[in-house]
Structure 1
Amino acid sequence: MNKKNLLYVLSGFIIILLIGIIIVYDDEEQERDNGELAESDTRETELDTSLSVEERVENLLSRMTLEEKIGQMVQGEITTTRPKDVKDYYLGSILNGGGSTVSPNTPEKWLETIIEYQNMAGSTRLGIPIIYGIDAVHGNNNVYGATIFPHNIGLGATRDKELVKRIGEVTAMEVSTTGMHWNFAPVLAIPQDERWGRTYEGYGESKELVTELSVAYLEGIQGVPSDKDFMHGTKIIGTAKHWVGDGATTGGIDQGNIILTEEELQYHIEPYISAIEAGARTVMVSYTSWNGLKTHGDHYLVTEVLKGDLGFDGLVVSDWNAHEQVHPEYEEAVKQSVLAGVDLFMVPDSWKEFIDTLTALVEADEVPISRIDDAVTRILRVKMEARLFEEPFPDETLMEEGTFGSEEHREVAREAVRKSQVLLKNEGDILPLSKDMDIFVAGIKGDDIGYQSGGWTIDWQGSPGNITPGTTILEGIKNIVSDDSIITYSEDGVGAEGHDVAIVVIGEEPYAEMFGDADDLKLSEEDMRLLQTVQQTDIPMVVILLSGRPLIITDEIEHWDAFIASWLPGTEGHGVADVLFGDYPFSGELSMTWPKSMEQIPIHFEDDDYDPLFPYGFGLKTD
């Protein structure tokens, strides 16, 4: 073939190739157009409330890619994600850990930030909304200015399920006002050992009390399934945690090992049965191990018992990076946790690695797509039940109404404070006090919001100081006494002479989780010095203990005229003054047994050799 003919042949080939490219491009454009129309139709189907939730979920799931499915199984943290990551990686959920805040830490800024994330979710191919989670364990406690309620051990002392339900309602309103959808609460643990650093997160040591109050709280934050506003409007999604038995670890070690038979473990499972019947739609798995096996990798407990025997069809969420504890090799840890039945993974920092790892496991047939589909089905189901598809964005009028941290909400907290105070000694009926007395108030903790609120307040571990608006115990006293009363305050207890009575406030430093684990529950040296300084004056002494659990005070209480277990009352310290001065009676009852010594711990009211300093349910009453 000569050069001229070759040139003709090549030219013809190039023309045919170009025509083919144009045809393919046109076909791809047509397919893209058809796909966009299909997705538009899909979104209409997802929003079609005449269809069942299951039909809508199935329709959506059938159109999702593996990348979109795995993205739904990931919960990133606000400090390691940006709104655009939701669009780029199809993230299904965002959370903020304790102490992770926006700047400034205001309700308005939280609302603005979460709207940004939700906007990005809406811009994805399928427009699946995110679900935003937070540990609002005693009010919306991470946000400055929120109403902070007593921790659960104090609420257990109230024995008032109607009050606990109202606390749930207020918390839900303050959470939804900031644009958040999901509260990692309540804790269903039944604390069995005061050495455990999370003791105050439990309502008490009996399954009956824990069951009653956790159900009441769930109904407060979620509503009940038959309500038209269930998990919607000013209601939010709750979490039953931590599955299961985390209050029963050996030695009270947080994230430790539970050595119980299956029959004995049933005691700790029972509150979950009632919570699920009451409408709990998410369950968080515990860091703990049961007889040596990490629960996040325990297929029997998560899939066979929780999802099978208990019939739980909501979503199962991991705790913070807890899957990494299942196995020393990351890939195997992810595999075992997914196969165990965890649906949504709280991976605050390594979420990209998690996505890559799980994708590779599915592609290698190490994790079946059926398990991925089950997890995503459960996640989408809860999102649809919460009506996030119809109304992904928060109701901004809630912010305008000004109920966040309002006086009305604080009055509910104040009621909870006064009902949670447990009077354990009242020698000579010294309480209630006269409002006309000259009163000496001693101890730095008596004028400190941080001490009286404890952990999970603004920061994860909490901190001393007036870290958020509220009323200290000292301020509450000043506000309630008559104009004729003289109030003297001393941080170190010096100067009590000449007063009619001394009110001495002592207690624990703020802490949370494993940082609160303690082998010795005696009073601090600082508190002992304070008490001894005041005792030297021989004036009547009323001692108020701020703590997340009973402390060992057997020897010291002999020197006190009155003793009050105040627990961790939160921001409304005037609730303590309400009962001190008789505006309301003392009515609280111990939700935990008060031991005589460390040697008695663990101690439980059903023990055969039960001989505490104060028994479970004890509490003196005043008129």
Structure 2
Amino acid sequence: MHPVRKTSPEGVEYRDLNGNGRMDPFEDPRRSVEERVADLLPRLSLEEKVGLMFQTVIEAGADGTVKEAPGDISKSGTSEVVLRKHLTHFNVHALDDARMAARWHNALQAIAEQAPHGIPVTISTDPRHAFIENAGASFAAKAFSQWPESLGLAALRDAALVREFGDIARQEYCAVGIRAALHPTLDLATEPRWARQSGTFGQDPDLVTELAVAYLQGFQQDSLGAGSVACTSKHFPGGGPQKDGEDAHFPYGREQVYPGDRFADHLKPFPPIIAAGTAAIMPYYGMPIALDIDGEKIEEVGFGFNKQIITGLLRGTLGYDGVVVTDWELVNDNHVGDQVLPARAWGVEHLDPAARMELIIEAGADQFGGEECVELLLELVAQGRVSESRIDESVRRLLAVKFRLGLFDDPFVDEDAAAQTVGRKDFRDAGYAAQARSVTVLQNGAHGRPPVLPLARDQRVYAENISADAVAALGEQVDRPEDADVALVRLMAPFDPRSDLFLESWFHQGSLDFQPGLASRLARIAAHCPLVIDVVLDRPAVLTPLLPLASALVGSYGTSDAALVDALTCTIAPVGRLPFDLPRSMEQVRRHGEDVPGYDDPLFAFGHGLSVIPTV
């Protein structure tokens, strides 16, 4: 290992990353980012430069050690991928304990110091501050403070709160060494069946734009620096309008369509997020069908392969010169257990992996997500199919972000500070309040039923899908509706279970209709006592059959049982408003254009939310 930390003859502390005993310009913390990049780039071998252009999954040891063997998802051991393949960007999955996460991160950075130029590692993550556990999109909070999903933040309509959330998440990420966020999601929730809506800010392009910029500012601060988390804004040029709502992670969901000719709505959040300084942008998997932009027909290939979209629209028209990282696994098939999942090479499935990689680079991307096949890119350079100058173009962008984050000067974190910062009480309290406040009251008394909210405490409560502790905060739990003063039932928005492909079971797709027997069963409960229903709206469910049954109907977007009870009793007043229209029926959904925000005649419209007056 290099004796890294030194003091120059001028008294400047620096890291001697190449071990030559002197402070080279790229090691000099006083110099500008541009000077340091310009000095380091020609020092790097082709292998080191190529390694920078890959970002893949890494798995952390639960005891704070690095894993030196392939994991459940990661394809290589840590030293293999850092020191032989020269990768320095990794997307981390499970992190259950803050101290162990910090210890693992430091061990990983110590391995990176052994590389020829000691390029520090950048750790990224999908969202991990809410409730949904989906290895393809997000993780439940666990040790981190827990907040509503992005839809819940959108329901609050409060840009200052969104920036506060970003700032808190930034502090927790930095404490354990996570310096890059694979978010925010700027996609519009215009297609009700789509599985990724919970991570969006809803259907309205203006609201999405306002909240996404605030989110970015919370994570990156006023400018990208040593205290920032670099954001990858996604999915360019808007990943919401999936044909029939099927997700583009899967072959049957590869098509992205614009029957309402609303491409401009989906693009609208990106120019402001570029102006706000997003460190990176990720194109979506989707393959546009019959898309025409200003008279130019767009090639029907996935956006990550699409030169018209990345070089023409993003870099040319919008003037973006930051990092473009592809979504995961566009090049190679993915082997998980005994399954072989096809590469998400939509529209170019006929090409071999080398040709796919060549096309991605030609399209204008800088980094391959979910891949570590460095030998493939090295071979393309050797064959003259990709020039080293083109490699340098991407490496400059990637190195600049590392320098701006201060990683070259000090990538290590303090274990004690990590344990004290992650999940700090004031952070948890802020997240809990947001969970309760984001609850949206859709109906409170109707169809001949009197209002019941706010709920009184000290009642006899019949409950379904609510923890016993949360019910105890309301009163005595009883086993039969006949013995109850009130019934409280939590429901997940419906979906069609699927499990043939890896990841598929985590994606809620398909019908938004509840099973036919549910209304009959709820009617039997409502016959005995007032019925309060909460529906977890990770997608806009068809709630029509519930309206005649519910004395009160609310929607939530990532709210614990305890926070829900506090909202229903107005201990913390629920003020959420719908971030999308709720449809009347599945027939209305099927007739609706995938790219069109909202309906002419929704059951409940975007922005709907009743006020509930707290009892004194």
How high is the TM-score relative to the length of structure 2?
A: 0.81
Whole-angstrom distance in 1 between the partners of 2:129 and 2:107: 26
Q: Specify the structure having the higher radius of gyration (Cα).
A: 1
Question: Secondary structure at the residue paired with 1:318?
Answer: strand
Instruction: Give the Å deviation of 1:345.
Output: 1.3
Structure with greater strand share of residues: 2
- 2:363 pairs, out of 340, 346, 349, with 340
Corresponding position: 1:69 with 2:49: yes
Pairing 1:78-477 to 2, within 5 Å after superposition: 78=58, 79-85=74-80, 86-96=82-92, 100-101=93-94, 105-139=96-130, 141=139, 144-225=142-223, 230-233=224-227, 235-255=228-248, 256-260=254-258, 264-291=262-289, 292-323=300-331, 324-326=343-345, 327-328=348-349, 329-348=352-371, 351=372, 354-400=373-419, 402-427=420-445, 428-441=450-463, 443-444=464-465, 446-447=466-467, 474-477=468-471
1:54 aligns with 2:34: yes
Distance in 2 of aligned mates of 1:242 and 1:604: 16
Distance 1:61 1:315, change over 3 A: same
Q: 1:322 to 1:404 in 2, by over 3 A?
A: same
Question: Structure 1 residue 529: deviation in Å?
Answer: 6.3
Q: CA deviation at 1:262?
A: 12
Distance 1:439 1:245, change over 3 A: same
Q: Secondary structure at the match of 1:563?
A: strand
Q: CA deviation at 1:391?
A: 1.3
Quote the offset at 1:374 in angstroms: 0.9
Distance 1:266 1:112, change over 3 A: same
> Which region of structure 1 is more displaced relative to structure 2, 151-160 or 608-617?
608-617
1:453 alignment partner in structure 2: none
Q: Deviations over 1:15-68 (max 9, x none)?
A: xxxxxxxxxxxxxxxxxxxxx998747863113243321121111111111111
1:565 to 532, 552, 555: 555
Q: 1:141 to 1:322 in 2, by over 3 A?
A: same
Partner Cα distance (2:197, 2:307) in 1:
27
Alpha-carbon distance in 1 for matches of 2:261, 2:460: 57
| Cα distance, 1:408–1:509 mapped onto 2, change above 3 Å | farther
Q: Measure how far apart 1:143 and its partner are.
A: 6.2
> Which structure has greater helix proportion?
1
Count of residue pairs the alignment pairs up: 533
How many angstroms does 1:381 deviate by? 0.8
Residue 4 of structure 2 corresponds to which residue in structure 1? none
Q: Per-residue deviation at 1:422? A: 0.7
- Aligned residue in 1 for 2:62: none
Decide whether aligned partners of structure 1 residues 87 and 316 sit closer, same or farther in structure 2, where only a CA change above 3 A counts. Answer: same
| Letter paired with 2:242 | T
Q: Could you tell me how far apart the structure 1 residues matched to 2:557 and 2:585 are?
A: 19
* Unaligned residue ranges in structure 1 (runs of 5+): 1-35, 448-473
- Secondary structure in structure 2 of the residue aligned to 1:486: strand
Asked whether the equivalents of residues 73 and 375 of structure 1 are also in contact (C-alpha less than 8 Å), the reply is: yes
User: Relative to 1, partners in 2 of residues 1:363 and 1:437: Cα closer, same or farther, differing over 3 Å?
Assistant: same
1:32-51 pair list within 5 angstroms:
40=20, 44-51=24-31
Q: Any conservation in 2 of the 1:75–1:92 contact (CA below 8 Å)?
A: yes
Q: Is the 8 A contact 2:574 2:612 kept in 1?
A: yes
> Which of 548, 569, 579 is residue 581 of structure 1 equivalent to?
569
Contact 1:131–1:181 (8 Å) recurs in 2: yes
- Structure 2 counterpart SS, 1:149: coil
- SS state at 2:43 partner: coil
Tell whether the 8 Å contact from 1:284 to 1:316 is kept in structure 2 after alignment.
Answer: yes
> In 2, Cα distance between the equivalents of 1:363 and 1:526?
64
Does structure 2 retain, via aligned residues, the 8 Å contact 1:254–1:517?
Answer: no
* Fraction of identical pairs, as percent: 28
Moved beyond 6 Å, runs of 4+: 36-39, 509-514, 603-609
Q: Aligned letter for 1:59?
A: D
Question: What CA deviation, in whole Å up to 9, does each residue of 1:536-583 have, x standing for no partner?
Answer: 42x1111111230221121231111110011232xx432222221122
Q: CA deviation at 1:607?
A: 7.3
Bigger Cα displacement from structure 2, 379-388 vs 306-315: 306-315
Q: What is aligned with 1:468?
A: none
1:502 aligns with 2:487: yes
1:33 corresponds in structure 2 to none
The runs of 5 or more residues in structure 2 that have no matched partner are 1-15, 59-73, 131-137, 249-253, 290-299, 332-342, 498-502
Shift of 1:477: 4.4
Query: What SS does structure 2 have at the residue aligned with 1:558?
Result: coil
Which amino acid in the other structure matches residue 305 of structure 1? Answer: L
| Residue equivalent to 2:69 | none
Give me the whole-angstrom Cα distance separating, in 1, the residues matched to 2:429 and 2:400: 36
On the 8 A contact 2:535/2:555 being kept in 1, the answer is yes
CA contact (8 A) 1:317 1:342 kept: yes
Counterpart CA distance in 1 for 2:303 and 2:598 is 31
Which 10-residue stretch deviates more, 604-613 or 133-142?
604-613
Partner in structure 2 of residue 470 of structure 1: none
Conservation of the 8 A alpha-carbon contact between 1:129 and 1:392: yes
Indicate the SS of the match to 2:548: helix
Q: Which secondary structure does the structure 2 equivalent of 1:319 belong to?
A: strand
